[in-house]
């Protein structure tokens, strides 16, 4: 099926209103099928449909394309560095988990942020979106009836979503995608204490990094604060041992 662009959909919607009822109903059904297919195929289109207030920019297109390559298995290690207030959390920690579990309801996501409260908040938003009527019109992924806690819930296909703050334990959990969203708070960064950054990196390597499923992907989305922050230490280690090859997108 050839997918329509947003402008094409809008133009067709205007034309449909002028047709007789029978023809209008048939074309509306075709447009709805196209919209659903587009949501499933395009992360950016999905985000615009699920989040009506979203205002897109050029950096969103670049992020969306990278997320699509992660979902397809073509990209395993991704770092996106960008300033605050540029929709990085809404994209990486809200829209991406919902879209990914819609496509792959059997897979597992580990979501992290610099506090457990923030990570759990993301989990609540993703859970609520997955259970919403508008989402269910696009994907068949449903929540498991016996697992609906905000930060720890499952799908009816045995997929899992698990949210933790930096320093939290991930024992017994596995992830097809590990999402690390701003592991350093601005307040911590302003301390200019190397031990703060080192503690986060040690937690990453000994905790969530070790819980990755074979062939799993890691996404780090964060504001840079110092050369010794998580991005800096990950890339330094990668240049030394060459184990992980990271794609870095900087805004």
pLDDT for residue 1 is more than 50: no
Is residue 214 within 8 Å of residue 250, measured between CB atoms? Answer: no
* pLDDT digit string, tens, across residues 109-140: 999 999 999 999 999 999 999 999 999 999 99
Q: Whats the size of the chain, residue-wise?
A: 251
**Tokens 């900087």 belong to which residue?**
250
Choose between 53 and 172: higher pLDDT.
53
Closest C-alpha to 62, from 89, 84, 88, 100: 88
Contacts of 226-232 spanning 24+ positions with Cβ under 8 A: 226/189, 226/192, 226/197, 228/194, 228/197, 228/198, 229/184, 229/189, 229/197, 229/200, 230/180, 230/183, 230/184, 230/197, 230/200, 230/201, 230/204, 231/79, 231/81, 232/197
pLDDT of residue 107: 97
pLDDT for residue 173 is more than 50: yes
DSSP for 18-39, please give it: TS-HHHHHHHHHHHHHHHHHHH
Choose between 31 and 228: higher pLDDT.
228
What pTM was computed for the model? 0.88
Look over the chain and give the mean of its residue pLDDT values, rounded to a whole number. 90
* pLDDT digit string, tens, across residues 174-215: 899 999 999 998 888 888 788 999 999 999 999 889 899 999
Percent of the chain with pLDDT over 70: 91
* pLDDT digit string, tens, across residues 146-166: 877 888 999 999 999 999 999
């Amino acid at each position: 099926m050839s997918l329509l662009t947003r402008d094409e959909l809008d133009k067709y919607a205007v034309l449909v209103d002028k047709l007789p009822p029978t023809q209008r109903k048939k074309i509306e059904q075709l447009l709805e099928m196209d919209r659903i297919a587009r949501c499933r195929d395009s992360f950016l289109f999905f985000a615009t449909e699920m989040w009506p207030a979203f205002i897109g920019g050029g950096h969103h297109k670049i992020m969306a394309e990278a997320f699509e390559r992660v979902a397809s298995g073509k990209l395993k290690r991704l770092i996106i560095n960008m300033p605050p207030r540029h929709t990085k959390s809404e994209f990486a920690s809200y829209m991406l988990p919902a879209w990914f579990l819609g496509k792959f309801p059997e897979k597992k996501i580990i979501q992290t942020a610099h506090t457990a409260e923030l990570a759990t908040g993301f989990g609540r938003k993703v859970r609520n979106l997955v259970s919403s009527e508008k989402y269910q019109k696009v994907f068949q992924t449903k929540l498991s009836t016996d697992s609906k806690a905000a930060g720890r819930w499952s799908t009816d296909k045995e997929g899992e979503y698990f949210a933790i703050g930096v320093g939290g334990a991930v024992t017994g959990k596995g992830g097809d995608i590990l999402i690390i969203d701003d592991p350093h708070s601005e307040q911590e960064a302003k301390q200019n204490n190397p031990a703060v950054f080192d503690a986060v990196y040690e937690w990453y390597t000994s905790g969530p990094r070790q819980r990755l499923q074979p062939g799993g992907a890691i996404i780090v989305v964060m504001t840079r604060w110092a050369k010794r922050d998580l991005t800096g230490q990950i890339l330094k280690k990668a240049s030394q041992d060459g184990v992980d090859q990271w794609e870095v997108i900087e805004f």
